Amino acid sequence: MSTHTLSALLFRFPFPGTWGKDLTERVARAIGDEAGLVWKIWLDDRETGHTSGVYLFEDAAAADRYRERHARRLAAMGLAGVTADVFPVESQVSVLTMAAAALGLGCPSKAA
């Protein structure tokens, strides 16, 4: 992993219906090949009709590149109301709330 500050990217947008297996798998494979991506968590709120993704990138530059590319892809699909924000990860305090393994920083016990 890079020595740069980890960056989280949060996408959220209205999405009626479901992605479907074929689209989900194609998009997931493309995202999995994204340079600088550490992981992605998929979120789907059927009650509000929104879908979201929480991504962890090695640094802000990788997160920004992906944000721009994915926003264009969603616009080409005709999706509006997209929000996408990049945040620096506060690793030191996140470790205190059991996020070390998720951040690739090891896995300390709760007692640590």
pTM over 0.85, yes/no:
no
Mean pLDDT along residues 79-84? 92
The predicted pLDDT at position 107 comes to: 60
Sketch the domain layout of the chain as residue ranges.
7-96
Beta strands in 23-97 (DSSP E): 37-45, 50-57, 83-88
| 11-64 pLDDT tens trace | 999 987 767 787 788 888 888 899 999 999 989 888 888 989 999 999 999 999
Q: Which CATH class is domain 7-96?
A: alpha beta
Q: How far apart are CA 56 and CA 91, in angstroms?
A: 12
pLDDT over 70 at 76, yes or no: yes
